[in-house]
């Protein structure tokens, strides 16, 4: 787990390393993007209810990565989104692969 909390430090580390691919699992990124009711301090909406997000830099990193604003393009998502994927998510996590532009 990263100890870097602010977005600019994360982005600089990404620029310095300049990996050709980023591969990640929903077991990790969902805690910053999806499960706002389980991790309210990490919610991008947390500011609306009067408290600051716990790790806003990591939340911003994943938001911008998935919006393809960091110079990476989502090239594969495993499994593909289907209605028959079992829930809860830890049984069958989604793996995402981003390629550097």
The answer to whether 79 touches 92, Cβ cutoff 8 Å, is yes
Q: Which residue's entry shows tokens 């993007």?
A: 33
The answer to whether 10 touches 58, Cβ cutoff 8 Å, is yes
Token pair listed for 38: 């389980």
Mean pLDDT over the full length of the chain:
76
Calpha distance 24→7 (Å, rounded): 18
Confidence at residue 71, expressed as pLDDT on a 0 to 100 scale: 95
Residue 2: which pLDDT band, with cuts at 50, 70 and 90? very low
Residue-wise pLDDT for 45-77, tens only, equals 545 544 444 577 888 899 999 999 999 999 999
Confidence at residue 27, expressed as pLDDT on a 0 to 100 scale: 81
* Position with higher pLDDT, 92 vs 4: 92
Specify the pTM.
Answer: 0.70
């Amino acid at each position: 787990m990263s100890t870097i909390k602010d977005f600019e430090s994360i982005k600089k580390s990404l620029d310095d390393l300049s990996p050709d691919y980023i591969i990640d699992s929903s077991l990790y990124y969902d805690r910053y993007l999806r499960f706002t009711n389980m991790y309210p301090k990490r919610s991008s909406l947390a500011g609306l209810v009067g408290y600051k997000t716990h790790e806003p830099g990591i939340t911003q990193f994943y938001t911008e990565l998935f919006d393809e604003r960091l110079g990476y393009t989502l090239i594969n998502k495993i499994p593909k989104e289907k209605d028959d994927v079992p829930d809860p998510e830890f049984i069958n996590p989604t793996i995402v692969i981003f390629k550097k532009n």
